[in-house]
Amino acid sequence: MSVLEAKGLTKQYQMGEVVVQALAGVDFAVAKGDFVAVMGPSGSGKSTLLHLLGGLDEATAGEIALAGRPISRLSDDEVTIMRRRKVGFIFQFFNLVPTLSAAENVALPLLIDGKNIKQYTQKINGLLEMVGLADRADHKPDQLSGGQQQRVAIARAFVNDPEIVLADEPTGNLDSKSGTAVLDLLRHFCQEMQQTIVMVTHDPRAASYANQVVFLKDGNIIQQLPITHHNGHEEDMRAIMRVMRELEL
């Protein structure tokens, strides 16, 4: 079953006289428990795709269904509620609230949704433990390293048991060791907890953690590559880089 399905997804930006076609009729489906990496050169439409899938922006044409509900037919308020309850976001620059502790940042999606967070203490502590930050629960973001901040952001993205988590270059601002920790966690959430993830990345190594890679060029999906995970990351990385060369990405 598809958690997320997009058909003929099109996005045009009007820039004065010029129309920029950011997405040119993309068909895209994500099955429950899948981990999809989206790759493509700068300007190929990766962020636009992620924003549309998460209901952060509206498509010019096409349909998106999340958990079977067509979001293009919802009102703005309904989309906002759907996004809060069904979608988790992870960004390149962590986007934590600087005045809140790690635990409070994790709790934020619940607070915004009007939940009584006292009932979620165990859940929040459990997530902080999963991302290896149980002993940092009271630390503010500026007392945490970049890698630790991104792990808080991961816990936050999963706190409301979303249908899907969307990550835009989640390792783009991290050193390779912190990046690997983030990627290991995303795989763990997907493999052990049947969570569903779409991750935009430039990095073939990051993409090799996914189960499939979708290649975007000029607003079109031009190739999909299943990742086998048979012989470690090196072989998958080489397969990804081979496709990138073939497609001149």
Ligand X SMILES: Nc1ncnc2c1ncn2[C@@H]1O[C@H](COP(=O)(O)OP(=O)(O)O)[C@@H](O)[C@H]1O
Binding site for ligand X (CB under 6 A): 13, 15, 20, 22, 40, 42-48
Tell me the residue nearest to Mg ion as measured from the CB. Answer: 47
Question: Closest distance between ligand X and the C-beta of residue 11, in Å?
Answer: 8
Q: Of 38-46, 71-79, 209-217, 240-248, which segment contacts Mg ion by CB under 5 A?
A: 38-46
The site that binds Mg ion (CB under 5 A) totals a number of residues, namely: 2
Strands 61-66, 212-217: pairing is unpaired
The answer to whether 30 touches 210, Cβ cutoff 8 Å, is no
Angle, helix 102-112 to helix 146-158, in steps of 10 degrees = 30
Partner interacting with residue 119 (select from ligand X, Mg ion, none; CB below 5-8 Å by kind): none
Here the tokens at position 48 are: 């636009």
Q: What is the closest distance, in whole angstroms, from the C-beta atom of residue 219 to Mg ion in the complex? A: 13
**Looking at beta carbons only, is 42 or 75 nearer to ligand X?**
42
Q: In 3-state terms, what secondary structure has residue 187?
A: helix
Looking at residues 47 to 66 of the shown chain, list those that interact with Mg ion (rule: CB under 5 A). 47
| Integer Cα distance of 43 and 96 in angstroms | 26
Q: Are 150 and 90 in contact (CB under 8 A)?
A: yes
Please name the amino acid found at residue 149. Answer: Q
Q: Which is nearer to Mg ion, 110 or 167 (CB)?
A: 167
Torsion of CA 140, 143, 145, 146, to 10 degrees: 40
The sign of the dihedral angle between the CA atoms of 13, 6, 8, 44 is positive
The least distance separating ligand X from the CB of residue 17, rounded to whole angstroms, comes to: 13
Minimum CB distance to ligand X, residue 44 (Å) = 4
Stretch that binds Mg ion, among 39-47, 91-99, 170-178, 184-192 (CB under 5 A): 39-47
Site for Mg ion in 221-240 (CB under 5 A): none
44 binds Mg ion per the rule CB under 5 A = no
- Residue 33 or 172: which CB sits closer to ligand X? 172
Q: How far is CA 204 from the centre of its chain?
A: 16
Q: SS3 of 192, please?
A: helix
In the bound complex, what is the minimum distance in angstroms from residue 202's beta carbon to ligand X? 9
Question: How many other C-beta atoms can be found within 10 angstroms of the C-beta atom of residue 196?
Answer: 22
Q: Locate 236 and state its tokens.
A: 């998958």
Binding-site partner at residue 20 among ligand X, Mg ion, none, CB < 5 to 8 Å by type: ligand X
Strands 87-90 and 164-168: parallel
Closest contact distance (angstroms) between CB of 100 and ligand X is 28
Site residues, Mg ion (CB under 5 A) = 46-47
